[in-house]
Amino acid sequence: MIDEIKTKAIKEGVPIIKDEGLAFLLNYISEHHCKQILELGTAVGYSAICMAKLSKDIHIDTIEKDPDMYEQALKNIRENDLQDQISLFFMPIEDFVSAKHYDLIFVDAAKAQYGKYTEQFLDNLSEDGAMIYDNMIFHGLVYDIDHITSRSLKSLVKKIVKFSEMVHNDERFDIMDFDNIGDGILVLTRRKSGT
């Protein structure tokens, strides 16, 4: 059933996480025993469903603002009988407020807003939690900015690079880059004092 969601999404041009990135994400969740997860950007629910299927004690809050994506995600979550494990919020991420602490925040929505999302949700990250960001190499374009002709695309790719530089230079964080996995993955954790 999950394969059908993936096939349909790819056919309809819905941007979902690549296989390699997904494998990394699922492995991270298992290895770090992440139970409470926040996902920014649901699309049709593909990554949320894959994460939920790892274990019955995983719970995911996932946010989507596009009505068509939301409806499809709702249907997919129900058909997989995962409504107890996945809470789907139909709203802009900017409006989402929670007092919860998450073991993992998977950031997969508007790439230009990654810096903003980091600040917005930092207080929701548990002490040993991680934020994982997808599309950090943006189809390889971060290596070839000078050759991008579209002004809006160039501006977006520059924002991704700027975000990466910003978090690398931020003393609050430890950063791990996995540029060779999927579309590029960045893992952010809190730096422990004294390290």
- Binding stretches for ligand SAM (CB under 6 A): 15-17, 41, 43, 46-47, 63-66, 69, 92-94, 108-110
Question: Considering the complex, what minimum distance in angstroms separates the CB of residue 162 from ligand SAM?
Answer: 18
| For ligand SAM, the closer CB: 71 or 144 | 71
Question: Considering the complex, what minimum distance in angstroms separates the CB of residue 165 from ligand SAM?
Answer: 22
| For ligand SAM, the closer CB: 22 or 125 | 22
Task: Answer yes or no: are the C-beta atoms of 178 and 185 closer than 8 Å.
Answer: yes
Task: Answer yes or no: are the C-beta atoms of 103 and 145 closer than 8 Å.
Answer: no
105/130 Cα distance (integer angstroms): 6
- Give the Cα-Cα-Cα angle 80, 105, 114 (nearest 5 degrees): 120
| For ligand SAM, the closer CB: 17 or 130 | 17
174 phi and psi, to 5 degrees? -110, 135
Helix (H, G, I), strand (E, B) or coil at 189: strand
Task: Answer yes or no: are the C-beta atoms of 176 and 186 closer than 8 Å.
Answer: yes
Question: Considering the complex, what minimum distance in angstroms separates the CB of residue 37 from ligand SAM?
Answer: 11
Question: Considering the complex, what minimum distance in angstroms separates the CB of residue 147 from ligand SAM?
Answer: 24
* Structure-token match 């492995």, residue found: 27
| For ligand SAM, the closer CB: 15 or 140 | 15
Question: Considering the complex, what minimum distance in angstroms separates the CB of residue 44 from ligand SAM?
Answer: 6
| For ligand SAM, the closer CB: 94 or 179 | 94
The tokens for 60 are 């995911």
Task: Answer yes or no: are the C-beta atoms of 51 and 60 closer than 8 Å.
Answer: yes
Looking at beta carbons, which residue is closest to ligand SAM?
41
